[in-house]
A and B are shown apart, each in its own frame.
Chain A
Amino acid sequence: AQSVAQPEDQVNVAEGNPLTVKCTYSVSGNPYLFWYVQYPNRGLQFLLKYITGDNLVKGSYGFEAEFNKSQTSFHLKKPSALVSDSALYFCAVRGSMDTGRRALTFGSGTRLQVQP
């Protein structure tokens, strides 16, 4: 069974400071990893994904994520946080062995609060 852990319910950061939202995963085979963001009363918006290749993945709105196979982690990062980045962030995974079931397994979410 695959799983995702987001160990922090909330991350607080000051505007202009770098931010990190943590994610670790467990999956059979190679992982396909994703980050999504959810604003209040909205659907989930895709930010970025790791399938293969470079361990540093760049995505939307200046976000990037670093894949670390030995630590089974896929942390989301941004060099300089904006107040508008405040939202709920979800990490998700699917295993490369899941040829039929393509649904993603999501973590519990981390609320990012960026203070002005």
Chain B
Amino acid sequence: DSGVTQTPKHLITATGQRVTLRCSPRSGDLSVYWYQQSLDQGLQFLIQYYNGEERAKGNILERFSAQQFPDLHSELNLSSLELGDSALYFCASSVVASGGELFFGEGSRLTVL
């Protein structure tokens, strides 16, 4: 158990809909990262937050947004969903130290029908 909690584990929805994925980082970790894992694109970095502020952006679509709250949990919002958004979405957290490894949650599997 990495200590990173993600909900829901599975989500099935229709095209055009909006979903919210939730992540609770390990106790004490201030940084949260979101990744998307799909068969054709591999593991893609989406966005990083540190102590409530956006720190870095990766390949995140404009239809997607995220935030980190004062209690350090984070939410990833996916809107106007398309079939191609079907993927496994991972949250990870890390200590604030050079070379700190990321600790990953079990992921949220999104299926868009």
Binding site for B on A (CB under 8 A): 32, 34, 36, 41-46, 49, 51, 90, 94, 96, 100-109
Q: How far is the CA of A36 from the CA of B90 in the complex (A)?
A: 14
Interface of B is mostly: strand
Interface assignment of B94: CB less than 8 Å from any CB of chain A = yes
Q: Give every chain A residue within 8 A of B68 (Cβ-Cβ).
A: none
Count contacts on B: residues with CB < 8 A to the other chain. 26
Contact residues in B for A43 (Cβ distance below 8 Å): 2, 4, 90, 104-107
- Asked whether B90 lies within 8 Å of A44 as measured between CB atoms, the reply is yes
Q: A-side binding surface: helix, strand, loop or mixed?
A: loop
Task: Tell me the minimal C-beta distance from B108 to chain A in angstroms.
Answer: 10
> Which residues from B are CB-within-8-Å of A106?
35, 42-43
- A42 with B42, Cβ < 8 A, contacts A102-B94, A103-B48, A103-B58 known: no
Question: Chain B 41-63 against A: per-residue CB contact (8 Å), 1 yes, 0 no?
Answer: 01101001000000110100000
**Which among A41, A49, A101, A108 is the interface contact of B56 at CB below 8 angstroms?**
A101
Q: Which residues of B contact A101 (CB under 8 A)?
A: 48, 55-56
Q: Is B102 an interface residue (CB 8 A)?
A: yes
Is B84 part of the contact surface with A, judged by Cβ < 8 Å? no
A43 to B2 Cα, complex, angstroms: 9
Nearest chain B CB to A83's CB is how many angstroms away? 23
